[in-house]
Amino acid sequence: MAITEPPKILTSRLAFEDSHRLERYLATGGYQGLRKALAMTPEQVAAEVDAASLLGRGGAGFPAGRKWSMLRKGPIPYLVVNGDESEPATFKDHVLVERDPHQLVEGVVIAAYALQVARAFIYLRGEFALGLERVQGALNEAYAHGALGRDIFGSGFSLDIVVHPGAGAYICGEETALLESLEGKRGFPRIKPPYFPAAIGLYGEPTVVNNVETMSNLPWIISNGAAAFTALGEGRSTGTRLFALAGHVRNPGVYELEMVKTTFRDLIYAPVLGGGILHGRELKALIPGGVSAPWLGPEHLDVPLGQDEVAACDTMLGSGSIVAMDDHTCVVRAAWRITHFFWRESCGQCTPCREGGGWLEKILRRIEGGAGREEDLDLLMDACDNIAPGVSWPPQQTTICVLGPSIPSSIASAIRMFRDEFLLHVKEGACPHG
């Protein structure tokens, strides 16, 4: 496929050194979307977002407009922005938060107006020290500019935004855990239903939670209209998306691409994008959508980067991150490291996740270290089956949140795709890759 050159919706200012400052923002069309929104009714703004078919960019891909309309029947006290970004290999919100914080703030004010909330919180992972400074700096400038605070741009609408730091816990990206954390508690996911914090959210009140990238799309959508947004992409996957490419590629980084119009092959091999596999090696496997997603092989390179297109391969576009692994990669080690992560980050509330994760980690470590046994492969699959019966995709839910059932994804993928390599580890007690 040819790589299209869509308008830059999210990354238009990144070439500027001072992309995070108000002056630059105003000189490049900043806060025009908000001015336009304030001249519309909240219902019209919400309808525009709904018409844009903006799919949530946090991982689950639920349409933002639909989420909002489920709630707009009664007053909504809170809007919470999810900037916890801790899914391994995902690093696109990091860029938005540090490099274009005003775009995020403008998006939040637009959403707050559409939802008529008076208070919004931006939850950023605590490790984003610079991001916290940049977002607070943007808020300070926005207050002084009249784009935030009392009577925004003379519209009568008032809003306060508080930036809130996390403190190092992957699970706090799960929206109900995030709300617990924002309430000053341990990040324990809440029991569902309700499936959206919508109904019973922050302090037990209706709350909308949306991702940083989701919010950052709003200024452009309102400025240019939903039709311009849906003109990009295909089907349900409209607009552009930030893809975070990492691993064994020449040019890792964050790329804004039109949805569905680009394939994994384009992203990894195009000279203007990934530039191919490092050292001229071959691609062995790739992980789409964050480490919770099942892996794909070179035979999937021509799959377009769209939500439904990737879902059709029994995996997910998820958080928009892609990890390329070359033919020298030890897949046992890769699966072990991902499992090690889940085990370390399990909040411990559910037995399958807490105990199962630990077992799987131990068995994989044993195989990787050359002390594996023949029956270990079956044992792995058995344990996986206990955590997510059938080990299918999407996984069956046996736990409070989907962290637990995500653990089998990488293990089942690695065994399915590279069984021989696992057996070699077991039989020879060694790794073919040294």
Partner 1 sequence: MSHLSEDVLARARELVGLYPHPRSALIPICHLAQEQDGWLRPEAITEIADMVGLTPAEVLGTASFYDMLHTEPVGRYLVSICTNIACMLRGAYDLLEHAEQRLGVRPGGTTEDGLFTLEDAECLADCGRAPCLQVNHRYFGNVTPEAFDQVIDDLTAGRLDSEVPTHGTLIRVRREGGLRVDGQQIAEERAAMAERRAEAAGGGGGGA
Ligand X SMILES: Cc1cc2nc3c(=O)[nH]c(=O)nc-3n(C[C@H](O)[C@H](O)[C@H](O)COP(=O)(O)O)c2cc1C
Tokens of 172: 């706090």
Q: Using the rule CB under 8 A, which residue among 184, 193, 271, 434 binds partner 1? A: 184
Return the C-alpha torsion angle 69, 72, 74, 76, nearest 10.
120
CA 335 – CA 415 distance, rounded (Å): 9
The site string for ligand FES over 82-101 (x = CB under 6 A, - otherwise) reads ------xx------------
Residue 408 binds to ligand X (criterion: CB under 6 A): no
Residue 175 binds to partner 1 (criterion: CB under 8 A): no
DSSP state of 2: P
**E strand or H helix at 209, and its extent?**
strand 207-211
Residue 213 binds to partner 1 (criterion: CB under 8 A): no
Residue 59 binds to ligand X (criterion: CB under 6 A): yes
Residue 210 binds to ligand X (criterion: CB under 6 A): yes
The site string for ligand FES over 35-74 (x = CB under 6 A, - otherwise) reads ----------------------------------------
Partner from ligand X, ligand SF4, partner 1, none binding residue 349, C-beta < 5-8 Å depending on class:
ligand SF4
Contact assessment for residue 405 and residue 351, using Cβ atoms and an 8 Å cutoff:
no
If phi over 0 gives left and psi between -120 and 50 gives alpha, with beta otherwise, what is residue 235? left
Give residue for tokens 């077992």.
359
Residue 197 binds to ligand FES (criterion: CB under 6 A): no
Residue 183 binds to partner 1 (criterion: CB under 8 A): yes
| Listed ranges 55-63, 109-117, 224-232, 308-316: which one lies at the site for ligand X (CB under 6 A) | 55-63
Interactions with partner 1, residue window 148-167 (CB under 8 A) = 148-150, 158, 160-167
Tokens of 114: 């559409």
Min separation Cβ 409 and partner 1, Å: 13
> What DSSP string runs through 249-295?
BSS-EEEEEETTSSBHHHHHH-TTTT-SBGGG--EEEEEESSTTSPP
The site string for partner 1 over 80-99 (x = CB under 8 A, - otherwise) reads -----xxxxxxx-xx-----
Partner from ligand X, ligand SF4, ligand FES, none binding residue 400, C-beta < 5-8 Å depending on class:
ligand SF4
Q: Using the rule CB under 6 A, which residue among 260, 401, 407, 412 binds ligand X? A: 401
Min separation Cβ 357 and ligand FES, Å: 19
CA 283 – CA 285 distance, rounded (Å): 6
If phi over 0 gives left and psi between -120 and 50 gives alpha, with beta otherwise, what is residue 280? left
Residue 292 binds to partner 1 (criterion: CB under 8 A): no
Residues in the chain: 434
CA 207 – CA 94 distance, rounded (Å): 24
- Positions touching ligand FES (CB under 6 A) are 88-89
